[in-house]
Amino acid sequence: MARKFFVGGNWKCNGTTDEVKKIVTFLNKAEVPSEDIVEVVVSPPFVFLPVVKSLLRSDFHVAAQNCWVRKGGAFTGEISAEMLVNLSIPWVILGHSERRLILNESNEFVSDKVAYALSQGIKVIACVGETLEQRESGSTLAVVAAQTKAIAEKVSNWANIVLAYEPVWAIGTGKVATPAQAQEVHAELRKWLHDNAGAEVAASTRIIYGGSVNGANCKELAAQPDVDGFLVGGASLKPEFVDIIKSATVKKNN
pLDDT tens, position by position, 229-243: 999 999 999 999 999
Closest CA to 190 of 223, 241, 221, 224: 224
Q: Which of 39, 98, 130, 166 is catalytic?
A: 166
Q: Into how many domains does the chain fold?
A: 1
Q: Give yes or no: 133 in active site.
A: no
The reported pLDDT for the residue numbered 251 is: 83
| Model pTM score | 0.97
Mean per-residue pLDDT over the chain, rounded: 95
Select which of 96, 98, 105, 130 is catalytic. 96
Domain CATH for 91: 3.20.20.70
**Strand partners of residue 230:** 7, 209
According to the model, what pLDDT value does residue 253 have?
64
pLDDT at 1: 58
Name the DSSP class of 230. E
In 3-state terms the chain splits into helix, strand, coil percentages (rounded to 5) of 45, 15, 40
252 falls in which pLDDT band (50, 70, 90)?
low
**What residues make up the domain containing 142?**
5-252
19 is catalytic: no
What's the pLDDT tens digit per position in 74-107? 999 999 999 999 999 999 999 999 999 999 999 9
- pLDDT tens-digit profile of 115-136? 999 999 999 999 999 999 999 9
Per-residue confidence (pLDDT) for residue 177, from 0 to 100: 86
Residue-level pLDDT at 8: 98
Q: Are 171 and 188 in contact (CB under 8 A)?
A: no
Phi, psi of 73 (to 5 degrees): 150, -135
